[in-house]
Amino acid sequence: MHVSVVLFTADLRLHDHPPLRAALDASDAVVPFFVRDRAVTAAGFDPPNRRAFLADCLADLDASLRERGGRLVVRSGDLVEEVCRVVTEADADEIHMAAGQTAFAARREERLRRALEADGRRLFVHDTVTVAVPPGTVTPASADHFAVFTPYFRQWDRLVLRPVAPAPRRVRVSEHVAGEALPARGDVTGVSPALAAGGEGAARRRVAAYWRRGLDAYDDTRDALAADATSRFSPHLHFGTLSPVELVHRARRQGGPGADALVRQLAWRDFHRQVLAARPGAARADYRTKRDCWRTRRTAAADIEAWETGRTGYPVIDAAMRQLRHEGWMHNRARLLTASFLAKTLYVDWRIGAAHFLHWLVDGDVANNQLNWQWVAGTGTDTRPNRVLNPVTQAKRYDPDGAYVRRWVPELAGVGAPAVHEPWKLPGPDRAALDYPDPVVELSAGLYRFRQARERAR
């Protein structure tokens, strides 16, 4: 009997899953397999929120496979060693998996390929599973990747994507391989209280609801902080419970400004992956250095703590940071504001903020997180590296009634707009009655410090 192993990584779904489809077409039976890779844990990339969401995803994937006559095999350890063991136990000829885009994924894939080929097995890597357009597919004439989004998007948007593969009706599995018990969300401590549910079922319900009630208005409402009108697809894209290829096809069929804006966001996600694939060091080092002498955790400890705990004295910043801890997620506009505040107003090393986000965000993703942080810090692909977002101006524009602030900063629940965005300007008795800190820095002072630092570094 011809057996194939389907190695799931960041593609925890059955709909539009090319590796699974290829394995089923080529084999008499498959082994759907997931490894809880100890290297991921050792690197600190499975904090509580993502570990809990992953548990949901694996449970949902196992249930969907069982509905089709299959099951998910889960093991813990070194991914290469565990795959080789399963291949031997199942006497599998080939292994199918999705391509990754990080340096870690590339090294792991190469290790796996060498180990399998040494044993006479074949590894098939499918490159349009976690992205719509793989890195290297579109490139400028004189470089290996695009450093500016707009010309990248022009080429990206002209491509014809592969067709969407339906979920299999039946999954034939090998019965010769055993796994360990599935992890459970309830066993994970330190999880954000309002962390959303994971899994392909939850993802597809989210898509269906958003298509009915949110997509058409997406371009108009996605920056409104209080409206909560973003898609919230990002955790599902990160864990692969949604297919970016399927989303692009659906949005293009729908048409209209909202659908077009969603497609552009999916392209932005692919853009960062092609940057990181070409420049893996950008996960830690400046993509375009400005020779900054950033303040560090040692030199800016109090300011960093205020930012992390939502006690900066700037209500929209504090609201966003508290949302992050409570939900394990943050509104996209709020991510821009909080990142700009830390990196430019406080002039703190962007890596400190990126690490904090990676700890809490359920959609914490190396390409998106690190390169978006660099974009805001002015060391990445932003063509205006010295722009500074004013949190008060932005709050009045994107939270004009103050509803977002009052939702997350209950100390200001009784303060109306626009004063809720500048509580330090309230009359003395009213200000004194609030259990809320003064600003950690005046915006003008922070702007001056940043500009002086960039000027000195030139």
Tell me: is residue 365 an annotated ligand-binding position.
yes
Backbone angles phi, psi at 122, to 5 degrees: -115, 140
Per-residue pLDDT reduced to its tens digit, 397-438: 999 999 999 999 999 999 999 999 999 999 999 999 999 999
Q: Is the peptide bond before 168 cis (omega within 30 degrees of 0)?
A: no
Alpha-carbon gap, residue 67 to 369, rounded angstroms:
36
Tell me: is residue 234 an annotated ligand-binding position.
yes
pLDDT above 90 for 271? yes
Tell me: is residue 232 an annotated ligand-binding position.
yes
Alpha-carbon gap, residue 434 to 414, rounded angstroms:
9
Q: What percentage of the chain has pLDDT greater than the value 90?
A: 97
Q: Which two tokens stand for residue 280?
A: 């893996």
Q: Which two tokens stand for residue 442?
A: 């005046």
- Count of other CB atoms within 10 angstroms of residue 276: 24
Alpha-carbon gap, residue 39 to 109, rounded angstroms:
13
H/E run at residue 366: none
Instruction: Give me the half-sphere count of Cα atoms (radius 13 Å) on the Cβ side of residue 344.
Output: 26
pLDDT above 90 for 1? no
DSSP conformational letter for 164: P
Q: 200: buried, middle or exposed (CB in 10 Å: 19+, 13-18, 0-12)?
A: buried
Tell me: is residue 231 an annotated ligand-binding position.
yes
Task: Compute the average pLDDT of residues 87-112.
Answer: 95
Domains of the chain: 3-127 (3.40.50.620), 131-161+201-278 (1.25.40.80), 301-456 (1.10.579.10)
Alpha-carbon gap, residue 49 to 91, rounded angstroms:
36
DSSP conformational letter for 316: H
Task: Give pTM, 2 decimals.
Answer: 0.96
Q: What percentage of the chain has pLDDT greater than the value 70?
A: 100
Confidence of residue 274 (pLDDT cuts 50, 70, 90): very high
Q: Which two tokens stand for residue 157?
A: 């948007």
Q: What is the pLDDT of residue 457?
A: 79
DSSP string, 184-235: -GGG--S--TTPPP-SHHHHHHHHHHHHHHTGGGHHHHTT-TTTT-S---HH
Q: Which two tokens stand for residue 353?
A: 């903020």
Per-residue pLDDT reduced to its tens digit, 204-259: 999 999 999 999 999 999 999 999 899 999 999 999 999 999 999 999 999 999 99
| Closest among 205, 242, 50, 282 to 131, alpha carbons compared | 242
AA identity, residue 337:
L
| Closest among 145, 214, 190, 243 to 52, alpha carbons compared | 190
> Which single residue is written with the structure tokens 């500074």?
388
Tell me: is residue 218 an annotated ligand-binding position.
yes
pLDDT above 90 for 20? yes
Query: Contact 173/69 with Cβ under 8 angstroms?
Result: yes
Per-residue pLDDT reduced to its tens digit, 433-447: 999 999 999 999 999
Q: What is the mean pLDDT of the chain?
A: 96
DSSP string, 91-132: T-SEEEEE---SHHHHHHHHHHHHHHHHTT-EEEEESSSS-S
Alpha-carbon gap, residue 247 to 186, rounded angstroms:
31
Confidence of residue 24 (pLDDT cuts 50, 70, 90): very high
